[in-house]
Amino acid sequence: MILPIYIYGHPVLREETKEIAPEYPDLKQLIENMFETMYNAEGIGLAAPQIGLPVRLFVIDLEPLAEDEPKYAGFRKVFINAKIVEEFGNEVKMNEGCLSIPGISESVERNSSIRIQYMDENFVPHEEEYTDFFARCIQHEYDHIEGILFVDKITPIRKQLIKSKLSNLIKGRTNCHYKVRAVKK
């Protein structure tokens, strides 16, 4: 089932998130719905707050990038109760976008590498290291479950320059091909 994606300005994107227990109701269905919602919106990552649920869950699928970059093939992952335990490596700037902030893309500086602990969809624990674009995607989604959005991390000048675009999103003025839920209609 395709779910509406909550747009910048909605308070759920800033809410404190709760951990997920193995008996969380209909978790498999929820994860499936998140992938379906993400594919429909042509995204490569989606976090639960973006569909209105303040819980520590996000999904990533880099397969759409595999045509140009074979290393992304088959990278389809579910992260439950994730915790980034270390960020390291060079600080790298790269443009990011977000399904909750349609029409805006800005340069964000992040460390190139992370170490993360999480559980997969079967509640098997993992501790892994990621670098470069893999790390960046995880950092972006992880920020969502911490109530952080990429526009929080841009320079004050850039923030000023996109101010009116952001206020349009808050007012519900979006132009998306996917279903959204804005704070005001």
Residues that bind Ni ion (CB under 5 A): 98
Which residue, 64 or 125, has its beta carbon nearer to Ni ion?
Answer: 64
- Three-point CA angle 35, 83, 94, nearest 5°: 70
Nearest Cα residue to 137 out of 87, 96, 93: 96
CB-based closest residue to Ni ion: 98
Rounded least distance, CB 91 to Ni ion, Å: 20
Closer to Ni ion by Cβ: residue 98 or 180: 98
CB of 128 to Ni ion, least distance (A): 21
The number of beta carbons lying within 10 Å of the beta carbon of residue 185 is: 6
Specify the residue, 109 or 127, whose C-beta has the smaller distance to Ni ion.
109
| CB nearer Ni ion, residue 61 or residue 123 | 61
Minimal distance, residue 124 CB to Ni ion, in Å: 25
Q: For residue 106, how far is the Cα from the chain centroid? A: 15
**Burial of 79: CB neighbours in 10 Å, binned 0-12, 13-18, 19+:** buried
Q: What is the dihedral of CA 44, 26, 179, 39, to 10 degrees?
A: 30
Provide the minimum distance between the beta carbon of 73 and Ni ion in the complex, in angstroms, as a whole number. Answer: 22
Active site residue 141: yes
Choosing from 36, 63, 121, 141, which is the catalytic residue? 141
Integer Cα distance of 95 and 105 in angstroms: 6
Q: Give catalytic residues, as residue numbers.
A: 141
